[in-house]
């Protein structure tokens, strides 16, 4: 089974909360990585995306950075996930 896409989030981030809710509603499985207080996860996210804003998603090597549900929906539709 392929690894799950990784969603990097920060607690209390309204965009992160909206994205997590949207993914649950659409039954899209992801591995959630909390970057706040986790220097290794933050470093991984910055190396992937070149920035420090969350949410950021690593979809099997394709990165969507600093987004909301509005940007996530077409990204997932393009992947045939929703």
Strand ranges in 10-81 using DSSP code E only, listed in sequence order: 31-34, 56-59, 62-65
pLDDT of residue 1: 56
Strand ranges in 1-82 using DSSP code E only, listed in sequence order: 6-9, 31-34, 56-59, 62-65
5 burial via Cβ count (<10 Å: 0-12, 13-18, 19+): buried
pLDDT of residue 81: 93
What CA–CA distance (Å, rounded) separates 52 from 29? 23
Question: Which of helix, strand or coil describes residue 56?
Answer: strand
Q: What's the pTM value of the predicted model, to 2 decimals?
A: 0.95
Residue pLDDT, tens place only, 17-67:
999 999 999 999 999 999 999 999 999 999 999 999 999 999 999 999 999
């Amino acid at each position: 089974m392929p690894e799950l896409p990784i969603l990097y989030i920060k607690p209390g981030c309204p965009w992160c909360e909206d994205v997590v809710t949207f993914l649950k509603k659409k039954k899209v499985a992801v591995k959630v990585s909390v970057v706040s207080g986790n220097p290794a996860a933050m470093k991984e996210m910055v190396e992937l995306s070149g920035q420090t804003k969350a949410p950021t998603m690593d979809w099997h090597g394709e990165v969507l950075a600093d987004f909301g549900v509005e940007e996530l929906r077409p990204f997932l539709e393009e992947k045939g996930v929703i």
